[in-house]
Structure 1
């Protein structure tokens, strides 16, 4: 695993020697000739590791190290020190430095082994976080994410775009699984082992949304008692998922546009640029073209986001997905609730398949969880919400509609047969003239 490394060393020859070793090993290296320049780079960019001389003119490596300790995510340090200054390096390790190496460097492999260990430990931590996030999100298998024939095209699009760095915009009604598709794009991409950081733009108050996205510096506003990383920093090397992007305020849309164009941002209350090494996947249940026409969404941002659009069909358009999804939720929630999954009887299954699901997959998930709580054996119709159990009522209404249409047709034919004579028509139909009068009015024949 390769990383971004800041190398701070005042000896130009030794600095060039170390840079060559590290770059030949595949790492991206930035260099500084003193601690002051090193601090400026740390304030404007993000690094996996800092390798610094312990003693330098002006700002020393130890001072540089200490100035970064209160950062939201302080970088890891390896120190280089002369043989006679080992005690100071040991003291720095007690304060949180990773390790130190003595100069002159006897064997370059010693440095590379140490660098690999540090970078890989960070990668393992990111991968663990990503797996825990997926577990916490309850990600179903891919065949369930794309269940139903109507999702075949979506699945192919996801696989096509995942291998690229393109920005993705996912359209779909609420509850159709936009975040699951976004996570799948992330996991299939080269960034899949880094973090997936979701943010629902509609769930954060407008005055806090900028800080959530970009972080803030200490004292940036009332209550900002310490510096804090935003979602874009937390997603470094991975993917940020901006759900309900259509709800983002116009003023903040301009700042997001800058991130997409220039790949840099600033924390609230800060003045240093931070590199945005992230992939952006956004989602909306709105028609963004209509939002642009109504001047509620920036046209330039729309085109930046809409590089690769993916439209998710609602659950009512992929009814063949309902049985496997219902069975998945049955197994999942039964285990969570400590119950044995007993299955779904025919009546309940029929009701699940015929219901229009205005809340889509999320509504199906909630219905199944409730049913499992109520059921002691098979899930039956009476374990489902009332609106799902009205199949018989619908059939009765349909039957009444058919009978009314038939009755109307008989009355019309009898009237035509008797030239509009209501007495003869009533006699043929076996009803009183008063009843016929009522029926004519009911069927709109008066």
Structure 2
């Protein structure tokens, strides 16, 4: 259930963010709006798949996938029926650096909704039969991925980019170990990760700060105060300049490419954002799209984007083309990288990129769930609510000199780590 009406239409977004500290010491960011009778909550607990034991990849994903499979007095079917009967949406997920969750409910059902969320977080049953069922579902997905060119290319890139590092492992695990993940493993990981420390919460909707504080303490206050995270080393994309081919008898080559980037707190970050948009992030307007697809007809899509893991900012991109043109396509991509470093953008490219990036920013705030998610992401990234008003100004302030400098920092000598799945010619 998603609210499609804007929550607020204001000149300042930040001034509507209330920073709440509950009696139990929890912090949450709230945008209170009674325009629609809905409440949306997003939260994240730092420490996702990067906390999986090295011999048990996929454990955080399995944990997130089983939290709503029965909790407290409800078995799996009873829990799902309880949320469905009241049109409540509760879900969980895991990525590399966090386990996240969301809740959406009509305001009249807010007490029951938070009560069910509390049960899932604090009293999930994790019964052996339910764990086995969800584990088999993940195994089926992994089997499909094992012969899917996109998944294979991503896996090859990940393993080459992050050797001997948690980021090199699959978030969803692997077929060799998925069946070894047990209920005891899930309980142990939950005890390590689920804590009030590093818990980030964003709430949007028809609820005031006092009532929200009560509900948050009731829901999250029972978690341990401290987590027990294993240190994750900082890492840069490795093997830049390498080409790795995974042989697969298909008519098309699937390509992944990437290199190191810079963090969101670097002074040149917004220059890099603009530079990447011009190069490969602008989809139909980017240089890569123009050179690879429009001029040469080598690929239906080609793109690059910035991917900021907690411990490794990076540029990553993708394309797919006929096997016989794979080497040519990679050459064109790399040539465009080097040309961009050497010559920078045109004034027209810079102007259009900044207008698009500032104009499209509002689309991140057109539903209650999106706003709550933005609030959580800002907290995870270490920004203040004022960023909501400052971000577009930072984009608009990027000059030609800034963009050229950002391109050089992002693209360096133009070398890339490239992985290709298929039977590519000329690689």
TM-score norm. by structure 1 comes to 0.24
Larger of the two Rg values belongs to structure: 1
Bigger fraction of residues in strand: 2
- Greater RCO, CA 8 A, separation 6+: 2
